[in-house]
């Protein structure tokens, strides 16, 4: 799945995307990222597990086990990797599965890692198979095997690596091969955030950005953030701009309503693509069940985009049902869209 199909064609400003945008990588947004677990909000079980693992590793003066993080985009997988590197006092090297096109790309990065350094691979399920096979001895034996020449003159040389920690992040853990998945010692799934946690995140981000936000404004913003901190910060930035231009700069519930109405985001946090997805099932297929390929063809959207980005939140809030026969719109979806079943 190439990056050019990851942004919604119907969501012109990219509020809801599975990849980081320019907004997410600008200096002021990067500064919103917590640097220690004390500042990290939510995912309590995962955080507690990692804190214990880090403390135990420090007591034994060794590295922690390889970690696999699974969950929808924007829930903090990259942030957790930065915190782990900071807590361990080690350097962090970041890459992504699609960027590792050849074995040489991976080997070049592995050989530059210091002892105990953190190697983070985002979207690890998209690593090519031939590159993935280099990871097996690297993760288990901290070594990579080079093959010189071909045929009867072929020779193998094993290069020893310094012990490192691999952190893999994926939105689709089922696409990981069993040999790779089994080599991770810690496997944690990140879930959507509740409104209380999002309010804390939004108020903290507003404070860092030097923006005044009311309790009602933070609550309204949390309701529309799809349970995702990344989206909450994106929406906060859009509402901040609106408040500065059209109001006194203070973020209130009225400003949130007006700003997000311009973005096409409703009170459940659904975008125009989400609503079109549900309306397609209802109008074209009588509420379902219908296969994802049929919905994709009707909407002219990539299947991976619908499965990775649209469906998780719709399933979470109960407006979509996934059955053995296909997708169905729930009664809640009819009510939200003000349609008669």
Domain CATH code at residue 283? 1.10.10.10
**Which tens digit of pLDDT belongs to each residue from 197-209?**
999 999 999 999 8
Domain contains 48? yes
Domain contains 25? no
- Euclidean distance between CA atoms 14 and 197, whole angstroms: 23
Q: Is 122 a catalytic residue?
A: yes
Range of the domain at 303: 272-336
* pLDDT average, residue stretch 249-274: 89
**pTM of the predicted structure, to 2 decimals:** 0.80
Q: Is 78 a catalytic residue?
A: yes
Please check the confidence at residue 2 and state whether its pLDDT lies above 70: no
The residue annotated as part of the active site, out of 17, 46, 78, 211, is 78
**Which tens digit of pLDDT belongs to each residue from 274-308?**
999 999 999 888 888 999 999 999 988 888 888 88
143-152: long-range contacts, CB 8 A cutoff, minimum separation 24: 144/107, 144/110, 144/111, 146/107
pLDDT score, position 20: 55
**Please, what sign has the CA dihedral across residues 220, 222, 226, 229?**
positive
The residue annotated as part of the active site, out of 90, 224, 230, 328, is 230
The residue annotated as part of the active site, out of 17, 171, 252, 271, is 171
The residue annotated as part of the active site, out of 11, 24, 117, 122, is 122
CA dihedral (81, 83, 85, 89) in degrees, to 10, reads 180
- Euclidean distance between CA atoms 55 and 3, whole angstroms: 38
pLDDT score, position 312: 87
Among residues 162, 189, 216, the one where a domain terminates is: 189
The residue annotated as part of the active site, out of 77, 238, 275, 327, is 77
Among residues 245, 263, 281, the one where a domain terminates is: 263
pLDDT score, position 8: 35
Domain contains 23? no
Greater pLDDT, 136 or 10:
136
Please check the confidence at residue 119 and state whether its pLDDT lies above 50: yes
pLDDT score, position 152: 74
**Which tens digit of pLDDT belongs to each residue from 213-246?**
999 999 999 999 988 999 999 999 999 999 999 8
3-state secondary structure of 210: coil
Greater pLDDT, 25 or 273:
273
Residues 51 and 103 in one domain: yes
Question: How many C-beta neighbours within 10 Å does residue 45 have?
Answer: 10
- Euclidean distance between CA atoms 333 and 214, whole angstroms: 30
Number of domains in the chain: 3
Q: β-strands 118-122, 320-323: how paired? A: unpaired
Mean pLDDT computed over every residue of the chain: 86
Residues 312 and 217 in one domain: no
Going by pLDDT thresholds of 50, 70 and 90, the confidence category of residue 4 is very low
């Amino acid at each position: 799945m190439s990056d050019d199909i990851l942004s919604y064609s119907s969501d012109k400003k990219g509020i809801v995307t599975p990849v980081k945008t320019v907004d997410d990588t600008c200096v002021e947004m990067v500064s919103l990222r917590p640097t220690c677990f004390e500042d990290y909000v939510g995912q309590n079980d995962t955080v507690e597990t990692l804190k214990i693992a880090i403390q135990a590793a420090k007591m034994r003066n060794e590295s922690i086990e390889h970690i696999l993080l699974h969950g929808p985009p924007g829930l903090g997988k990259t942030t957790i990797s930065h915190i782990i590197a900071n807590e361990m006092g080690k350097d962090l090297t970041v890459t992504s599965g699609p960027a590792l096109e050849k074995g040489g790309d991976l080997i070049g990065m592995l050989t530059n890692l210091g002892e105990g350094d953190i190697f983070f691979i985002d979207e690890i399920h998209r690593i090519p198979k031939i590159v993935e096979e280099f990871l097996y001895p690297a993760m288990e034996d901290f070594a990579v095997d080079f093959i010189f020449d071909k045929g009867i003159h072929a020779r193998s040389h094993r290069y020893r690596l310094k012990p490192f920690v691999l952190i893999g992040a994926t939105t689709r853990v089922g696409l990981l091969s069993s040999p790779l998945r089994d080599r991770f010692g810690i496997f944690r799934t990140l879930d959507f955030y509740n409104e209380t946690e999002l309010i804390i995140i939004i108020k903290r981000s507003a404070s860092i950005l030097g923006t005044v936000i009311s309790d009602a404004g933070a609550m309204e913003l949390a309701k529309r953030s799809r349970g995702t901190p990344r989206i909450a910060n994106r929406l906060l930035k859009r509402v901040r701009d609106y408040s500065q231009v059209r109001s006194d700069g203070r973020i209130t519930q009225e400003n949130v309503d007006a700003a997000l109405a311009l973005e096409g985001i409703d009170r459940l946090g659904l975008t125009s693509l989400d609503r079109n997805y549900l309306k397609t099932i209802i109008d074209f297929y009588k509420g379902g069940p219908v296969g994802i390929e049929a919905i994709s063809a009707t909407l002219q959207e990539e299947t991976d985009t619908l499965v990775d980005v649209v469906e998780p939140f719709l399933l979470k809030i109960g407006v979509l049902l996934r059955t053995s026969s296909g997708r169905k719109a729930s009664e809640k979806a009819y009510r939200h869209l003000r349609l008669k079943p």
